[in-house]
Amino acid sequence: MRSLGTLLASVLTAGLIATLLTPPVSGAAPAQQTAKAAAPDRPAVIEKRVIGKSVRGRPIVAWHLGEPAAPDVATVVLISTMHGDEPATRRILETLRDGAPVHEIDLWVVPTYNPDGLARGTRKNARGIDLNRNYPYAWADLDGSYESGPKPASEPETRAMMRFLGEVRPDRILSFHQPLLGVDTDTKRPAFARRVARKLDLPRRSLTCGGVCHGTMTGWFNHNFKGAALTVEYGYHPSRRRMTRVAPGQVLSVFDAYRGPRSLEPL
C-alpha cells in the first residue's frame, strides 16, 4: 500500500497534467480583457486603453464608458487637451470618467491627448509641433505658432490617435479646445453643430483658421470616415463648476445619454 505522501504527490501530478492538457473554454476572454470590468473607484469605466505614447513616453489613455452592447446607441469619442495650454476642458471628460455609469451611449473619452504639452504648459508637443496641424489632410508646411512638423503624421501622438479612431470608427467626435468660445459651424454636419451649440449653451461661429485649416484632426476624420468630427471651444477661463457640474451632463444630453447607477442584471 502506497504511503499518504506518495498518493498525494500522484494526485497533484495528475491534476497538473490534466490542467496543461485541457484546452481553454471556447470564447474565454484573454487575461488582458479582464480589466474591462468596472472598477469600484470608477464605476463608469468598462475599459482602459493606452492608445499610444507621447514623444517623452507619457501614455495617452482612452477610457471606455457607456453601454457598447446596447442596440442603436451612438459611438462617440470626446478628446481634450490636444493643446497643452488649453487644459480646462479635460475636467469635463475626467468628470464623466470618474462619475456614475453612463447609459444610452458607447462613449470613449481621451482627457489628455497631449500629455507632454500639458506638463510643459505649451500648445505644442515636446518636439514643438502643433498636433492639430500635423494630420495628413490638407497638410501644409507651417511655421511659428502652428508649426506643422517635417511631414504629415510625423508625431507619435498623431499616429496614435489615427490608429485609435480607425479602430473605433465613431459616429461623432467632439474635440474640445479653448479659448475661442463657440461651436464650429463650418463643418460636415451643420445640424449637429447647431444641436451641440444649443445643448452646451455656446455660440455658433465659423472656425476657419483665417482661411484653410491645414492638417487638423477634425478635417482628416471628416474627409476619411462616415462619422462627423466637430470642434468645440470654451473661453479662456471657464469656471470649475461649469466644467465639472454643468458641462458633463450637457455633453451627454447632446446624444440623449445620461448618468446613473448601473442597473442589476435580471436573475
Of 127, 197, 183, 184, nearest in space to 155 by CA: 127
Q: pLDDT at position 38, please?
A: 58
- Which residues in the chain land under pLDDT 70? 1-39, 263-267
Distance CA 50, CA 31 (A): 16
Q: pLDDT at position 211, please?
A: 84
Q: pLDDT at position 102, please?
A: 98
Joined together, the cell numbers standing for residue 92 give 469635463
Question: Do 183 and 82 contact (CB within 8 A), yes or no?
Answer: no
**Residue at grid coordinates 504629415:** 152
Q: pLDDT at position 41, please?
A: 86
Residue 46: Cβ within 10 Å count: 23
Domains defined for the chain, CATH in brackets: 41-259 (3.40.630.10)
Residues, the chain, total? 267
Report the predicted TM-score, pTM, of the whole model to 2 decimal places: 0.85
DSSP annotation of 215 reads T
Q: pLDDT at position 203, please?
A: 98
Distance CA 53, CA 35 (A): 20
Q: What is the pLDDT of residues 36-71, one digit of tens each?
A: 655 678 999 999 999 999 999 999 999 999 999 999
